[in-house]
Amino acid sequence: MDVEELIESIIRAAMFIAGVIGNSWLAISSIPSKRSSLSTNDLLFINLAVSNLITNYLVDLPDTVADFAGHWFLGEAYCGVFRFSADLSETSSIFTTFFISAFWHQKLVGSLKRGGAPVKLDNLSLVACLLAGSWTTALVFSVPHFFFVSVDGTNESEKDCIDVFPNDLSRKTYDIFYLTLANALPLAGLLTASGQIVLTLLQNQQRVRSHDNPPLGKNDVNHQAQGRDVDVVSGPSSGSANHIYTGVSGPEAGQGSTLHPDPARASKVQGKPGSNSQVRAAKSVVAVASVFLVCWLTHLLLRISNNFHTSSLVVEVASYIAASYTCIIPYIFLHGIKKLTCSCKR
């Protein structure tokens, strides 16, 4: 093994370790305690972690070992399992990331429109059906890899596990359906939801600024001097953080608002709006969407280009991109839900 191959193998091993730690951490942190019930967020995070761990253990680990060995040595039987697991976990991970972005789009945007009322994806039965559908779709696209794989190579030291379809037409047909239904459509949906989340965050920030620095008229100054001004801010943060600060005063402030007749106390509470947890989580979704765009759009383009010019290098690069995604996003979500800590307290 030359120096370049050794460096690539070490990087791959580091990504595997980071992915296992991050996804295991995310799964354990999302398991509800005895005093709380399972929420949509918990279910989605657990499903995402399980999807990524399949990639870590059944795809990244054998691929890393094969890199250190210098060739594929696990046989054709595991070659089918390897290719099956790769598409199964990738497809499930993509759909789950899309569901997470859709959920937080509903929570954030819906909070402004309905005053923190429950959203459709708060229904665990609905979410479970969506996840079951995503696993079924992933299974349908992954099964062919059990039958159309081969360990190919000119000699023992250059053998590699590759897909071998009966003909070029069948390969292109499979890739068109797979890339469209399991990659392009979830990618478009995630970008749409994330774009609206960004707009909502920016609009909410404008409302907060305008509320913190309102234009003072003569009557406002007199009222403040008399200590009769009333500020409306979001209520104290609850565990679920279902309400968002809107910057709207009066009866239209919506649920979760609290009246503070004391201006000094109100100014302190304004610094800690009750929606901090919700906005923090929404920002983490936007961060994940950015990583998702870079990784999976590049992955999608590489897979498309491979239809016109088959290259082992392209397949290898696409594999590295998928591995990098699964080892990065758990840490972003852990930061977003404030679980990126070694404390065992829940």
Instruction: Name the DSSP class of 36.
Output: S
Evaluate whether residue 114 is within a structural domain: yes
> CA–CA distance from 343 to each of 137, 192, 317, 340 (Å)?
38, 36, 37, 9
Residue 97 belongs to a domain:
yes
Amino acid 250: pLDDT: 38
Residue with tokens 């302190």: 268
Domain membership of residue 197 (yes or no) is no
- Domain count for the chain, please give it: 1
What local confidence, expressed as pLDDT, does residue 118 receive? 77
39: domain CATH number is: 1.20.1070.10
Give pLDDT, residue 9: 81
**260 lies in a domain?**
no
Distances (CA, A) of 284 to 99, 148, 250, 265, 279: 14, 39, 31, 30, 9
Query: Residue 288: inside a domain, yes or no?
Result: no
Distance CA(47)–CA(41), nearest Å, equals: 10
Residue 195 lies in a domain: no
Residue 174 and residue 147 in contact, taking contact as beta carbons nearer than 8 Å = no
Say if 273 falls within a structural domain.
no
Q: What is the model's pLDDT at position 235?
A: 38
Whole-number Å distance between alpha carbons of 178 and 335 = 32
Residue pair 275/111 in contact (Cβ under 8 Å)? The answer is yes
pLDDT at 277: 65
* pLDDT by position in tens, the chain (length 346): 677 778 878 888 888 899 999 999 999 999 887 767 888 989 999 999 999 999 999 988 988 888 888 778 888 888 889 889 988 998 999 899 999 988 988 887 766 666 667 788 889 999 999 999 999 999 999 998 888 888 876 556 667 787 888 888 888 888 888 888 888 888 888 888 888 888 877 777 777 677 666 655 555 545 554 544 444 333 333 344 333 333 333 333 344 433 344 444 443 434 343 356 666 767 777 787 788 777 777 767 776 776 666 666 666 676 677 777 888 888 888 887 776 554 444 4
Classify residue 159: in a domain, yes or no.
yes
Length of the chain: 346
What integer pLDDT is reported at residue 222 of this predicted model? Answer: 52
Domain with 142, as residue range(s), is: 3-188+313-336
